[in-house]
Structure formats: structure tokens, C-alpha cells
């Protein structure tokens, strides 16, 4: 199954972008994966947070097909240990869906339309992280999950 990851807006910090790129490159060894950064909404600073998440949500929804399995990274989602996430991911990769689509929202989160469309909500931690840090952490966790599934030495149990 193909995996798509959508990140809303650019990552401002170079060190975070570098980390994302390292794990994204490693992931291509395991999965047919496409990581896309959706551009910031033009003039986004003049919109209310509610309007901004509507516009960001519409941009993301336009890229999600009806047969895609959409997972939103959200603080109210289901949390997993790394091993449990790997097991969950393995099950998802065997679904009949066309693509497994993960989405990280912008600074204000997701629109109601995205929550309505989502098939699953995934939480990385009990703590709250910036949406830019979540990108690095999630990309690393995808890589970690693949190494767990392959019984490789990256993850120490």
C-alpha cells in the first residue's frame, strides 16, 4: 500500500527540516511513501484561526481520495507505544484502502470537515508539541515502526 504524509505549512527551523529529510530518506527503503508539504495559505495572517483552519482543511481534503484511509495526528487521538504503533501500522498497511494518508495540521489544528472525514486520530504523546516538531517526531516514529516490523536493530526494547 502507498503511504502519503501531508504537512501543513513550511518548517521554519533548519535543524527540524534536516531531521525530517534524514528519516524521510530512510523510509523510502521500506515503503512507497510520498511526503508533501502543503503551502501556507497566502495572507494567512489576516484570517481568524477558525477561517485559517477551514482553508487549510479544504487544501488537504482536495488531495484525499474517497478510498484513502485518513489518519489525523491529533492530541485527542489514540496513543501507542512504539511497538504497538508498529503493530497497528502493519494492520493498516494490509487494508484494502488505496492509500494510507497521515496528516499533520497547522498551528491551530484541523477543520471540522477534516475531523468528519478522518478514519482515525493518532496521538504522539500526552504532551503538546509544535506542529513543526511533530513532523520530525512522526517521521522518525514511522521509520522506527518499519525497523520494528523488520526486526532491525534501530529500536531497543
Domains along the chain with CATH numbers: 2-149 (3.40.1280.10)
Query: What pLDDT, on a 0 to 100 scale, did the predictor assign at position 107?
Result: 85
For 61-85, how does the pLDDT look when each residue is reduced to its tens digit (9 = 90+)? 999 999 999 999 999 999 999 999 9
Q: Percent of the chain scored above 90 by pLDDT?
A: 77
| Cβ atoms of residues 57 and 114 within 8 Å | yes
For 150, residues 6+ apart whose C-beta sits below 8 A from its C-beta are 30
Query: What pLDDT, on a 0 to 100 scale, did the predictor assign at position 80?
Result: 97
Q: Model pTM?
A: 0.93
Query: What pLDDT, on a 0 to 100 scale, did the predictor assign at position 9?
Result: 84
| Cβ atoms of residues 109 and 73 within 8 Å | no
Tell me the HSE value of 19 on the side-chain side, using a 13 A CA sphere: 16
Name the stretches of the chain with pLDDT < 70.
none
Q: Which three cell numbers stand for residue 57?
A: 482543511
Q: Which helix (H) or strand (E) holds 85?
A: helix 82-93
Query: What pLDDT, on a 0 to 100 scale, did the predictor assign at position 12?
Result: 84
Amino acid at each position: 500500500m502507498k503511504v502519503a504524509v501531508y504537512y501543513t505549512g513550511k518548517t521554519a527551523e533548519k535543524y527540524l527540516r534536516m531531521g525530517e529529510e534524514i528519516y524521510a530518506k530512510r523510509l523510502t527503503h521500506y515503503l512507497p511513501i510520498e511526503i508533501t508539504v502543503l503551502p501556507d495559505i497566502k495572507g494567512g495572517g489576516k484570517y481568524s484561526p477558525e477561517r485559517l483552519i477551514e482553508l487549510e482543511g479544504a487544501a488537504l481534503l482536495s488531495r484525499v481520495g474517497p478510498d484513502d484511509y485518513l489518519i489525523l495526528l491529533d492530541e485527542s487521538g489514540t496513543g501507542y507505544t512504539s511497538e504497538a504503533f508498529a503493530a497497528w501500522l502493519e494492520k493498516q498497511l494490509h487494508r484494502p484502502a488505496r492509500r494510507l494518508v497521515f496528516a499533520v495540521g497547522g498551528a491551530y489544528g484541523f477543520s471540522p470537515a477534516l475531523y468528519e472525514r478522518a478514519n482515525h486520530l493518532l496521538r504522539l504523546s500526552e504532551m503538546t508539541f509544535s506542529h513543526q516538531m511533530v513532523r520530525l517526531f512522526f517521521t522518525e516514529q514511522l521509520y522506527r515502526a518499519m525497523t520494528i516490523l523488520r526486526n532491525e536493530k534501530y529500536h531497543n526494547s
